[in-house]
Amino acid sequence: MTSVTATPARKEAPASRSVLSQVAPLIGVFALATLLPFVSNDYWALIGTRAAIYWVLVAGLNLVVGFGGHLAIGYVALLTLGAYATSILVAGNVLPPVPVFVALPIAACVGALFGVIVGLPALRLRTFYFAMSTLGFATIVTQIALAWQSVTGGGIGIAGPEFSAPFNTAWGFYYLCLGFAAIATWMSANIGHSRFGRALIALRDAEVAAEATGISKPKTLISIFLLAGALAAIAGGLFASLQTYITPDAFTFDLSVLFFIAILIGGRGSIMGPLLGTVILTILPEIAAPLAAWSTFLYAVLLLLIVLAIPGGIAALLDFRNRRPLASNRAIVPRPAALADIQRKSAGGRTLSLRGIALSFGNVRAIDGLDLDVQPGRIHGLIGPNGSGKTTTLNVISGYYASKGGTMRLGEDALPPGMPALRAARGIARTFQTPRVIGEASVLENVMIGGTIEGQASFVEALLSLPRSHRDEHMLADKARGLLGVVGLETLADVRADRLQHSELRFIEIARALMLDPDFLLLDEPAAGLSGDEIERLAGLIKAISRRGTGVLLVEHHADLIFEICDEITVLNLGKILAAGTAAEIRTHKEVVSAYLGA
C-alpha cells in the first residue's frame, strides 16, 4: 500500500532482531521448565504446576493491569469462578456431567463473560474506584460460593475435576499446565505486540490522543477483558484439579495479591517481567518455609519497595538498550520531499466548514458565532490573544467539546458534535498544545499508534498471529518509519519517547497525525518551544503537507510563521471573529494590529 524512501532490506534487520531478543528469554524460561522433571522430585512438580497455572491467569491479567493500566486487584474472583464452573460441570451437579476437556472451554466462556462484567466499570471509573469495584466483586463471589450449597457444596466444598491419562500423574499434569502456560504466553505476546496492545497502552498513558487517532476505548477494553477472563477461568479449572478438592477457603485474597504484585514487580507493558515475577512469588514462600505465614506481608513489602524504588519493575532493570546515552547535539532535519513516496489514498477535495459555532463554559462565551472554512490543500491560520477561543475551536472540530449552536460540515456531510473517536475515520487528525505521547513506548510505536484504525486484522486474528495481522504490523511499521524519515527522527525510532526533547515530541505528534494521511490536519501551536531553525523547517514541512491536498488549520502565536505560510488567516478575539482574510490583508488590518500584533 505504501512504499517508503529507505531500502527495505536495511530496515528488516533490526526489526527481526528485536523480535528475537524479546522472544528468546521467554523460550529460554519454558525450555528450562521442561527440564524440571529430570532434576527434582514430586514436591517441586507441585510448585512448578502451581506457577504454570498462576501464569495462565497472570498472562491475561497482565494485559489488563500492565498494558491497560487498570488496577484490577480482585482477579481471584475469576479464578474461583473458573474452578467452580469446571468442577460443577464435571461433577454434573446442575447439568449432565461432561468430560473435563469439554468443561474447560465452557468455563472459559463463563469466565470471559464475567471478565467483561467485572471490567465494564473500567470504562467509566478511574483507578481507585475500579480497584474497589473488583475488590467488591471478589468478596461477593466467595460469599456466593459459600451460600449456594446445593451447587457449590458450600463450606464443605466440591471435588475438583480429574484428568485422564497421561495427565493424571504429577509430571503429566505439570506438562499439561506448562502447555497451557506456553499457549497463554504466546497469545498475550501476540496481542501485546499488535495494534491492540499498543492501543491499550495508548489509552493508559495518552487517552485523549488515543481517541483522536480513532481508538475505541470500549471495543479495545472489552476484547481484553474477554481474553483475560477466559484465561483466568481456565487457570481456575486447572487449579481445581491440582487442589483435588475446593472450598471457598482455597481462594483467599492473598492469591489476588500475588497475581497483582507479580505484574507490578515484573514491570508495566512487559511479558517477560511478570512471568519472572509470577515464578519468583510462587517459589518465595517455599524456599523460606518459616516465613510461609508471612508470605502476604512479604508480598506487600515487595510491592511497597517496588512502587517507591523501581516503579518500572524487573523489566526496567533489564532494559539495557534505553540506558545508552543519546547524542546531545541532535538536530531535527525533516525531509518533506520524502512525503511524495507515501501514496495518498483519500481523494480529499472536501471543505471543512463551520457556521455559527457557539460554546459557553458557565457564563463565559468561549466561542460566539464562529464561521470558518478550511479548504483542501490550503493552510488556514487561526490567531488571537490568549483566551480568544483558538484551542477551543480545535476541540470543537475534533469533538472533545460539543458546540451548543451552529453546524459543522465536511463537504456535503454534517459532522456530528462530540464523539472524538470518530474523527480519525473521517480524515481529521490533530496535534496537541502539550504533546501527548506515550513516554514508555518507543518513538516508532508512538507513530504507529496513529494508524491503528487502518489495521485490517481482527482481535482473534491478532491473538492467533494469523497472516493478516502480520501484514498489518509490517504495513504500520513501514509507514511509521517512512514518516519518521519525513519529520527527521528516523535515527531515534527505537528510543523510549520519554527520553526525547520537547521539540522532538512535537514532530512525533505530527508524524503520528500523518499516519492516517488525513484530509485535515489541526495543529495546536506546533512551533511553541522550537528554536528558530526548527520553526523554519517546520514551516517547510507544513507547506509540503498542504501541497498534497491536506487542509491545515494552524493555531499559532509566532506571527512570522503564520504570515509566512498561511493562505488564509482568521483572527479571534473573545470568541468572535475580529478579522478574516489573506495574510496581506490581516497584516495591515487596523484593529488586528492594535489589538494583537502591536504597532
Partner 1 sequence: MLASILASGLAAGAVYALVGVTYNTMFSTSRVMSFTSGQLAMLGGVFGSMFMLKLGLPVIAGLVLTLCCCAIIGIVTEFVAVRPVLKNLDQHLYVLSTLALALMIQQVAAIKWGTEPQPFPKLIGWGNGVFDEKFWLPVAACIVTIIGLEYLYRRTLVGRAFLAIAEDNFAARALGLPERNLRIASYALAGVIGGIAGFSGGELLLAFFANGALLNFYGFVPVALGGLGNNRGAIIGGLALGLFQQAANFLVGGVFSSVAVFTLFIIVLLAAPQGLFGSATARRV
Choices 215-223, 241-249, 298-306, 550-558; region in contact with partner 1 by CB under 8 A:
298-306
Q: Does 151 bind partner 1 (CB under 8 A)?
A: no
Q: Does 290 bind partner 1 (CB under 8 A)?
A: no
Position among 7, 13, 35, 124 found at the interface with partner 1 (CB under 8 A) = 124
For residue 500, the minimal CB distance to partner 1 (Å) is 19
Note whether 75 and 203 are within 8 A (CB).
no
Q: Any idea what the Cα angle at residue 47 is, between residues 190 and 281, rounded to 5°?
A: 65
Q: Does 132 bind partner 1 (CB under 8 A)?
A: yes
Position among 180, 239, 299, 596 found at the interface with partner 1 (CB under 8 A) = 299
What is the rounded CA–CA span in Å between residue 184 and residue 186?
Answer: 5
Q: How many CB atoms lie within 10 A of CB 356?
A: 13
Q: Does 395 bind partner 1 (CB under 8 A)?
A: yes
Q: At what angle do helices 42-62 and 253-266 cross, to 10 degrees?
A: 70
What is the rounded CA–CA span in Å between residue 201 and residue 191?
Answer: 12
Tell me which residues in 15-44 interact with partner 1 (CB under 8 A).
none
Q: Does 131 bind partner 1 (CB under 8 A)?
A: yes
For residue 164, the minimal CB distance to partner 1 (Å) is 36
**Hey, what's the cell of 113?**
463473560
Position among 146, 358, 574, 595 found at the interface with partner 1 (CB under 8 A) = 146
Tell me which residues in 226-255 interact with partner 1 (CB under 8 A).
253
**Hey, what's the cell of 339?**
512525503
Helix, strand, coil abundance in the chain, percent, nearest 5: 60, 10, 30
For residue 115, the minimal CB distance to partner 1 (Å) is 15
CA-based torsion, 220, 222, 226, 231: positive or negative = positive
Q: Which helix (H) or strand (E) holds 299?
A: helix 295-309
Beta strands in 15-124 (DSSP E): none
Choices 25-33, 141-149, 402-410, 502-510; region in contact with partner 1 by CB under 8 A:
141-149
What is the rounded CA–CA span in Å between residue 227 and residue 256?
Answer: 18
Q: Which helix (H) or strand (E) holds 573?
A: strand 568-573
For residue 145, the minimal CB distance to partner 1 (Å) is 10
For residue 205, the minimal CB distance to partner 1 (Å) is 10
Tell me which residues in 262-281 interact with partner 1 (CB under 8 A).
264
- Judged on CB neighbours under 10 Å (0-12, 13-18, 19+), 7 is exposed
For residue 120, the minimal CB distance to partner 1 (Å) is 8
Pairing of strands 158-159, 245-246: antiparallel
Binding to partner 1 by CB under 8 A, coded x per residue (else -) over 307-346, reads xx--x-----------------------------------
Residues that bind partner 1 (CB under 8 A): 71, 73, 120-121, 124-129, 131-133, 135-137, 139-140, 143-144, 146-148, 207-208, 253, 257, 264, 293-294, 296-297, 299-301, 303-304, 307-308, 311, 391, 395, 400-401, 432
